[in-house]
Amino acid sequence: MDQATATAALTQVGLNLNVSDQQFSETVAKGLVISSDPEPGAQAKSGSNVDVILSLGPERYAVPKVSGLTLDQATAALTEAKLAVGKTTEDFDPTIAASQVVSSDPPEGTELKSGTVVNLVVSKGPKPVKLPDLAGSTYDDAKAQLEAAGLVVTKSQEFSNDYAEGQVITSKPAPGEKVDVGTGVELVVSKGPPPVEVPYLVDMPKDDAISLLESLGLNYEVNEPPVTPLGRVLSQDPAPGTMVPQGSTVTITII
């Protein structure tokens, strides 16, 4: 019976109900009488008390919130909740710092019997990032891709015959390496081909001068009068030793 019904039943026979204790019970629902003293059928003086024990229902304890706690803190919280730590495993997590608890199994709020073990997943921090091969990408595209992966990007520049100005040559650390989130990555960006030093062409035969300019990746323009008895370079522009971009034009005058 519940307390009210039990009280009424005892009143009808001239007895009083006294709640002497409350206990957990796996078989008697919360709020109902577990037992009485004297027991049912016993004789009692009119007006005397009958002590009863009321049920608290099944003994259950809620799993506390442990996400974000250290393992020691989570263990203390579970112990306080009359639960125990079971198996702990580690896994990468993008938001929970390393050594902090990610989740519990059963999850937070689950009602469990006293002493039940709760398994915990502990963070190893964010999963390492495998650096992609960004060669040939523009600096802005490569930077955006790396920053989206949680990396810190810096830039350096080098001359390159293989990559156009503004394209990524490589990265440091190198493509394929794994790095932690937050690691700095240097993008090496092309400044285009290295400049060419204009050679000394004066007094060189015309054809030899043209061949040399072509071998250096330079264009040429020839000033040649109708008659050139020597067929040699009289003058040049730019002057010898001038540093110019590949593809620049060198003008030679033939005599």
In angstroms, the CA 96 to CA 103 distance is: 10
The per-residue pLDDT for range 12-35, each reduced to its tens digit, is 999 999 999 999 999 999 999 999
Question: Cα dist. 72→114, 124, 201, 211 in Å?
Answer: 20, 16, 80, 77
Tell me the two tokens of residue 20.
């002497």
Residue 35, both tokens: 């037992």
Contacts of 36 (CB under 8 A, 6+ apart): 6, 50, 51, 52, 53
Could you tell me the pTM of the whole model? 0.60
> Where do the DSSP E strands lie in the chain?
16-23, 33-37, 49-55, 61-62, 84-91, 101-105, 111-112, 117-123, 129-130, 152-158, 168-172, 178-179, 184-190, 196-197, 219-223, 233-237, 243-244, 249-254
What are 62-91's pLDDT values in tens digits? 999 999 999 999 999 999 999 999 999 999
Q: What's the CA gap between 55 and 35, in Å, rounded? A: 9
Torsion sign (Cα): 139, 141, 146, 147 = positive
Distance CA 33, CA 1 (A): 6
DSSP 167: B
What is d(CA 120, CA 116) in angstroms, rounded to the nearest whole number? 13
pLDDT tens sequence across 136-184: 999 999 999 999 999 999 999 999 999 999 999 999 999 999 999 999 9
pLDDT in tens, 225-248: 999 999 999 999 999 999 999 899
Q: Give pLDDT tens digits for 177-194.
A: 999 999 999 999 999 999
